[in-house]
Amino acid sequence: MGPIDFVLPMDGKQSIATMKVNIVGCGLSGITAAILLKDKGHSVEIFETRPHIGGNCYDLKVGNVTVHQYGSHIFHTNDEAVWNFLNRYTKFNNYIHRVRANTKEGLISIPFSRKTAEQIGRDLDPEEIQELVFRDYSERQWGIPWEELPKSISGRVPNKRDNFDDRYFTDEFQGQPINGYTAMFNAMLDDIPVQLGVGPDAWKGRKCDKLIYTGKVDAYFDYKWGRLPYRSLRFEHFKASKDNLYSFSNGAVINECNRNPYNRTMDNSVYLNEDVDETILTRDYPEEHDENNLPIYPKNFGLGAELYSGRYKKAAASEADTLFLGRLATYKYLDMWMAVKQVMVKLEGVS
Ligand code: UDP
């Protein structure tokens, strides 16, 4: 293993030989890292335990509907460099994400805006909005009392907007890859070798100069200090006629801000404006992560935060030849654009 530090910017005078870099995980972070390293002349190879590329952004055409296999993925960013990078591989359509919530006030537009106030015929104060939109949804999603949820999570969705803007995201750049995420990842991977469906330890015996690891950070260290908590989702996909129980003409997603067991119902045909009589709806049911389901949301608060910051984060930082990237390996609730940005920043100094 060479002395190259992944994170520190390289001194331009140093001559750096081509490295062989193995990458664990073929999601957005691993694929972005592979491209950036390949662009710098390094040799890369990706190892993925699942039988497909794209991680949780993976979508699959079922009949005429492009189904987000792991729930709704909506691309948005204000970062032009990230936007330009992905636009090298796909065009994006003009999909604007609008979300409605099924509440005791009926089906309302969220985040709560002046448009929402018009829908229910009166304005609400922040505490009332918290009860109407956030409490039940969050308690189901995170499995903890609303009061324990950190602002870093609940604050992702504004409590209230003082205008009529009914977009879920207000970012400058938004849209869906015109042929879906899997097609975008296929274009990104081009001639990058990927080993799909390998065992979780397959990368361990493979020679390389450096390793990029995007799996669970606690798994990398064989759970030495115990398991980090993650929240998981179980997905249910089912056929429905286009004029199903909800009309999705105003947006792909309906949030359940009530005691239903699932978070959201999503109409997969809306993202790419697929013209179908029969669509496929997806529902996501939150549950705690264990060995039988996927780690989806790091629970980086309370005991999870203590264990990560006190143990795994330090251990990861002292692995000279491994760079940890992505939601699972850096234990951060990264949006798609943030995952790309994180890789760009961390690999900036590698020549
Ligand atoms: N949230 C909520 N009600 C909603 C939407 C979101 O309580 O209708 C809270 C909930 O705690 C959720 C967080 O806000 O986990 C972030 O929502 P976001 O839509 O960003 O969740 P994601 O799409 O990442 O699952």
> Is residue 230 in contact with ligand 1, taking CB distance under 6 Å?
no
> Is residue 265 in contact with ligand 1, taking CB distance under 6 Å?
no
Q: Verify cis geometry, omega within 30 degrees of 0, for the bond prior to 111.
A: yes
What is the residue with the minimal CA distance to atom 14 of ligand 1?
154
Average per-residue pLDDT in the chain?
A: 93
Q: Please tell me the predicted confidence (pLDDT) of residue 249.
A: 60
Q: For residue 263, report the distance from its CA to the centre of ligand 1, in Å.
A: 9
> Is residue 257 in contact with ligand 1, taking CB distance under 6 Å?
yes
Q: For residue 103, report the distance from its CA to the centre of ligand 1, in Å.
A: 14
Q: How confident is the model at residue 93 (pLDDT cuts 50, 70, 90)?
A: very high
Q: For residue 227, report the distance from its CA to the centre of ligand 1, in Å.
A: 24
Q: Do strands 59-62 and 65-68 pair parallel, antiparallel, or not at all (unpaired)?
A: antiparallel
Does an H or E element contain 129, and which?
A: helix 126-129
d(CA 137, CA 264): 9
Task: Please answer whether residues 134 and 154 qualify as being in contact, where contact means their C-beta atoms are separated by less than 8 angstroms.
Answer: yes
Q: For residue 155, report the distance from its CA to the centre of ligand 1, in Å.
A: 9
Task: Please answer whether residues 180 and 274 qualify as being in contact, where contact means their C-beta atoms are separated by less than 8 angstroms.
Answer: no
What is the residue with the minimal CA distance to atom 20 of ligand 1?
156
Distance set, CA 95 to CA 176, 250, 298 (Å): 6, 11, 28
11 pLDDT more than 90: no
d(CA 49, CA 55): 10
In ligand 1, which atom is closest to the CA atom of 256? 8
> Is residue 195 in contact with ligand 1, taking CB distance under 6 Å?
no
What is the residue with the minimal CA distance to atom 3 of ligand 1?
134
> Is residue 157 in contact with ligand 1, taking CB distance under 6 Å?
yes
Write down the domain spans for the chain: 1-53+189-229+299-351, 100-154
> Is residue 110 in contact with ligand 1, taking CB distance under 6 Å?
yes
**Per CATH, the architecture of 1-53+189-229+299-351 is what?**
3-Layer(aba) Sandwich (3.40)
pTM, whole model, 2 decimals? Answer: 0.95
Q: How confident is the model at residue 17 (pLDDT cuts 50, 70, 90)?
A: confident
14 pLDDT more than 50: no
pLDDT in tens, 278-312: 999 999 999 999 999 999 999 999 999 999 999 99
Q: For residue 332, report the distance from its CA to the centre of ligand 1, in Å.
A: 15
200 pLDDT more than 50: yes
Amino acid letter for position 32: T
Task: Please answer whether residues 263 and 133 qualify as being in contact, where contact means their C-beta atoms are separated by less than 8 angstroms.
Answer: no
Instruction: Give the residue among 71, 272, 263 at the shortest CA–CA distance from 157.
Output: 263
pLDDT in tens, 28-81: 999 999 999 999 999 999 999 999 999 999 999 999 999 999 999 999 999 999
